Amino acid sequence: MSLRHYLWIAAAVLLVLAIVAFVILVRSEHWSPGHLRTLNRIDIYDNAVRDALPQTAGHDIILDHFTRKRDDGKTPKCLIVGYDGARAEALMEILPSQSGIQALANEGGKVYHMYTGGNRGVRQFTDTAPGWAALLTGRWAKGAGGNGVTANGVNKPAGTPPIAMIELLEKNLAAKSSFVVSWNGHFVDDHATYKYDVLHAQANNLNAAWVTLENDEQVIAHTIEELSNENGADIVMVVLEHCDSAGHNSGFGIHIPEYVQAFQASDHAALEFIEALKARPGYDSEDWLIILTSDHGGIGRGHGSQRAVCRQVFFASNQAF
């Protein structure tokens, strides 16, 4: 054979090896001993890494809050704040007096290790769309009853398990919902994750608001206004892009100043939301479940793999589970 043929064979072998390495990286959970030690040393967490909650637990926690019997007559409400792209160890960089997470912990709330990316045998990408869909539907993308959101840019198929906001409205457990974001991939693009959820809500006259704004600053201002309105939504979800944007631009990790500053910006916004809730005239007659969480972590300037730095996130709440 000629040298050219040998070069083609060598290139083909390298390509196959690269594909195999990628599949192994994506589908097998990879821990580094240093990262595991770091996570287990963070005092604010109330559980060990080995006892991390699955991201899918979020849905049942939300539904339980609205269905639970109350003797005090208070009205159940819920606020979910998404720190898009925040790694679990970012909590080492909390600024105590400016932190929503610390505010919840100071008042008896709990902070849990949580994992995204699916379980063994039912893996999924550690990306935005699969992460939030798992939290809101209580199902991973694949497997029996899966939500079908296998990646960013994939419509959640019609007929798959509903997201919590739609489910609460259809069961008359809530009167109004609001979902506030700045990434077009949630509602606006043709391949937006929740395209069919929006159409379903419109077709069934559900009082669901789907709000896409230009940036985090507008999202924060809109959410504070929503939470300050006594006639506002019963369940509000807001996604902040600070961490994800910093990660893609400068790198994911607490060794990167831009990423730390981004996490602190989202955490301070969460504190502002909590303060807006407490200032409501009817706050004492309401029972607010507050959830502060992340969809995925990251490494380098990306995410999606099964590496622990992408899988391990956090779940903070004003209530224990």
> Kindly report the CA angle at 78 between 73 and 82, in degrees rounded to 5?
165
> What is the distance between the alpha carbons of residues 320 and 150, in angstroms, rounded to a whole number?
30
CB-facing half-sphere around the CA of 26: CA atoms within 13 A: 15
pLDDT band at 120 (very low <50, low <70, confident <90, very high): confident
Tell me the per-residue pLDDT of 226-241, one tens digit each, with 9 for 90 and over. Answer: 999 999 999 999 999 9
**Cα 141 from Cα 310, distance rounded (Å):** 17
> Which residues share a beta bridge with 181?
212
Q: What are the structure tokens assigned to 286, written together?
A: 């309401």
Place of tokens 């159940």: 76
Give percent of the chain with pLDDT exceeding 70: 91
Q: How far is CA 264 from the centre of its chain?
A: 16
Residue 234: what pLDDT?
98
Instruction: Using the predicted structure, report yes or no on whether residue 1 has a pLDDT greater than 70.
Output: no
How much is the average pLDDT of 90-115?
98
Q: What is the pLDDT of residue 22?
A: 42
Fold that domain 34-317 belongs to in CATH: Alkaline Phosphatase, subunit A (3.40.720)
* The pLDDT value given to residue 14: 61
- What does the mean pLDDT of the chain come to? 92
**How far from 23 is each of 19, 124, 142, 309, CA to CA, in Å?**
6, 12, 17, 17
pLDDT (mean) for 214-232: 97
How confident is the model at residue 12, as a pLDDT? 59
- Residue-wise pLDDT for 178-195, tens only, equals 999 999 999 999 999 999
Those residues with Cβ within 8 angstroms of residue 152's Cβ, 6 or more apart along the chain or in another chain = 125, 127, 128, 129, 130, 185, 193
126 closest CA partner among 307, 321, 317? 307
Q: Is 200 exposed, middle or buried (0-12, 13-18, 19+ CB in 10 A)?
A: middle
Enumerate the domain spans of the chain.
Answer: 1-30, 34-317
Give tens-digit pLDDT for 2-40. Answer: 666 656 665 555 665 444 444 444 444 576 777 888 898
Query: What is the Cα gyration radius of the chain?
Result: 20
Model confidence pLDDT, tens digit, residues 247-269: 999 999 999 999 999 999 999 99
List C-alpha distances in Å: 10 to 6, 17, 19. Answer: 6, 11, 14
What value does the mean pLDDT take over residues 64-86? 97
User: Which residues lie below 8 Å from residue 175, measured CB to CB, with a gap of 6+?
Assistant: 169, 207, 234
CB under 8 A, 24+ apart: contacts of 254-258: 254/87, 254/89, 254/90, 254/92, 254/93
Say how far apart CA 231 and CA 299 lie, in whole Å.
41
